[in-house]
Amino acid sequence: MLQLDGLSKRFGDVLALDGCTFEVGRGEMVGFLGPNGAGKTTAMRSVFGLVSLDGGSVTWSGAPIDRVARLRFGYMPEERGLYPRMRVLEEVAYFGRLHGMTRADAMSTARRLLSGLGLEERLRDRVQDLSHGNQQRVQLAVALVHEPDLIVLDEPFSGLDPVAAARLAEVLAERAHEGAAVLFSSHQLDVVEHLCEDVVIVDRGRVVLSGRVEDLRAASPRRYLEAVVIGAGAGWAGAVPRAALVSHRGDRVRLRLDRPFDLPDLLARARAAGEVEEFSLTPPDLSEVFMEAVGQ
Amino acid sequence: MSAWRTVWLVMGRDLSARRRAALIVTLITLTLAVGGIVVAALATEGSSATLSGEEADRVIASMAVVILFLSLVTTGQVIAEGVAEEKRSRVVEVVLGTVAPRQLLVGKAAAIGLIGLSQVLLLVGSVAAAGVALDAFALPRATTGALVAVVGWFLVGFVFYATVYGAAGALVAPHENSGNATFPVTLLLMVGYFAGLSAPGGRSLLIQVLSLLPPTAPLTMPLRIAFGDAARWEIILSVVLTLVAAYGMIRLGARLYAGALMRGGRVRWRDAWRNAAHLG
């Protein structure tokens, strides 16, 4: 289990981490969310000793992290980087060997992994000759080649097309299923909601919300009403007490309701406006939970 | 996995990444050396004049200083550029996720030092071969010692300067030429170089002092050796002093390197030193 406990780090006037605390267990896939500048990258770097923390500790299986432990970690930094003139297969195998694999083992695993990522035709090409998206796949292979016990990926989905993103999601789910702890940051909350059971939301260097996505959604005091009243537009929803119109399109409206809300009254208003085709109450989705958590 | 295996892997990658450049430089060096020998042979043809002992010493001494200066500066620059490249391509963050800064620096320096050493051996070999072929030098005198001294002092000087060149490369901002950052280091080498070249007969108090001081010893002590002017104890003392100082320089270079590597933009020497306080 990866534990970040009370991390703090100041860069000049900026407090990047301010008592950041959370954990990622083996077999868990945790989405790491937060607005830009919330401290996600700094927290992830701290796992690899790339940041000198002002306070707090990072541990793996209860012990401080050293180089030996890091051999079993995989990392994809926010700022991607590869040796541009190395050939794809050699590059991935090199990083495998740096993580303790034998040459033969690294080569065969790299070949298998790259083929699985759709790069079997490009193994002998130089990395710099690949498209941005394909370089990103190589970067991912570099993070995964040694079959790490802990996988930390900073914005792995940014810059990927939907097909590649789906493949990445599959690979990560596989690794988590095999017992790896997976932590990744993302701004694509729909992807996170689809992929992760657990999320950690940080804002200004502190964890403001963490736990199972389902629990967080259910625990929110707010509910959202999705309704379609044929021919009524959004007018009927305008004057409802303790409700705010979030969005509307044609006859479809989405209302945010604060407790206590009067559902029968709402339904009556809708019926009065026209034929009700859809009327459903849901907890907030992850992006709404996120907005609430970071106070926007 | 041992730290040495990591260094070995880094070294292997750096060697392999430079094999083409190394081959080209080798071919150029060989061509120049053979060309030089042929020209010298043609120029001295017919004349029975071989160089007098003093003249031969001067030629050998100047050659030693020039070869040492050029090879130390170029290997240093290649190290700095290699470091700057890793920073520019941002691969360094991935590498540092598993490799200690010191291992990365030592592996890279060793690879490039090996290439530099082979170039020096090639040059020295060419000079020796020319000397034998043309019978131009009074070989039994100080020449053999001078040639051995060039190789030895390249190694000593390399150990002294390599990591500091590496640290200079780590200070470089993206899109910046690594030459700017390495200039202060090169300046140190230039002191020894110009002092060495301008010393008449290599026998001045200044040269005597400089040949004992670590930063200038690698360029001035070989000069004195070529003139047969250095006492054994002086040679031993300057080697020992330089190696002891080199140990300090390696520590210093590694610390500055680690402190600067993960910083964006141009890093100042002072900030690099401070940043690395936690790395020890």
Tokens at B46, concatenated: 């017919």
Residue that is written with structure tokens 């541990």 in the block: A59
Of A67, A70, A79, the CB nearest to B93: A79
Minimal Cβ distance to A70: which of B86, B98, B277: B98
pLDDT of residue B140: 47
Domains of chain A, each with CATH number or no CATH: 2-212 (3.40.50.300), 220-293 (3.30.70)
Q: Which candidate from A45, A80, A98 shows the least CB-CB separation from B99?
A: A98
3-state percent breakdown (helix, strand, coil) of chain A, nearest 5 = 35, 30, 30
pLDDT at res. A17: 95
Q: Which of A97-111, B48-62, B102-116 has the lowest mean pLDDT?
A: B48-62
B280 pLDDT band, cuts 50/70/90, is very low
Cα maximum dimension of chain A: 74
Burial (CB < 10 A; 0-12, 13-18, 19+), residue A280, is exposed
Q: Which of A149-153, A259-263, B145-149 has the highest mean pLDDT?
A: A149-153
Nearest residue in A to B261, CA atom = A50
Quick check: B262 pLDDT over 60?
A: yes
Chain B interface includes A55 (CB < 8 A): no
CB contact, 8 Å: A52 with chain B?
yes
Does residue A93 contact residue A139 with C-beta atoms inside 8 Å?
A: no
Mean of the per-residue pLDDT values of chain A = 92
Mean pLDDT (whole number) for B212-227: 89
pLDDT digits (tens, 9 = 90+) for A117-164: 999 999 999 999 999 989 999 999 999 999 999 999 999 998 888 888
pLDDT of amino acid B137: 55
For chain B, give the mean pLDDT.
Answer: 85
Interface check for B15 against chain A (CB to CB < 8 A): the answer is no
Mean pLDDT of A82-89: 96
Instruction: Say if A60 is an interface residue toward chain B (CB within 8 Å).
Output: no
Quick check: B17 contacting A, CB < 8 Å?
yes
Sequence-ordered strand ranges (E) for A82-154: 150-154
CA separation for the pair A261, A266 (Å, rounded): 9
Interface probe for A, chosen from B1, B8, B16, B98 (most Cβ of A below 10 Å), is B98
Residues of chain B numbered 105-134 and touching chain A (CB < 8 Å): none
Radius of gyration of chain B (CA): 20
Interchain pair B89, A79: CB under 8 A: no
Contact A81 B91 (CB under 8 A): yes
- pLDDT digit string, tens, across residues B126-145: 877 777 766 655 454 556 77
Shortest distance, CA A142 to any CA of chain B (angstroms): 9
Identity at A15, one-letter amino acid code: L
The reply to whether residue B98 touches residue A142, judged by beta carbons under 8 angstroms, is no
> Is pTM beyond 0.90 here?
no
Tokens of A116: 């699985």
Query: Chain B within 8 Å of A244 (Cβ-Cβ)?
Result: no
- Pick the range with the lowest mean pLDDT from A174-178, B130-134, B249-253: B130-134
Instruction: Give dist(CA B114, CA A253) in Å, integer.
Output: 72
Record: contact B13-A94, CB cut-off 8 A:
yes
Q: How confident is the model at residue B278 (pLDDT cuts 50, 70, 90)?
A: low
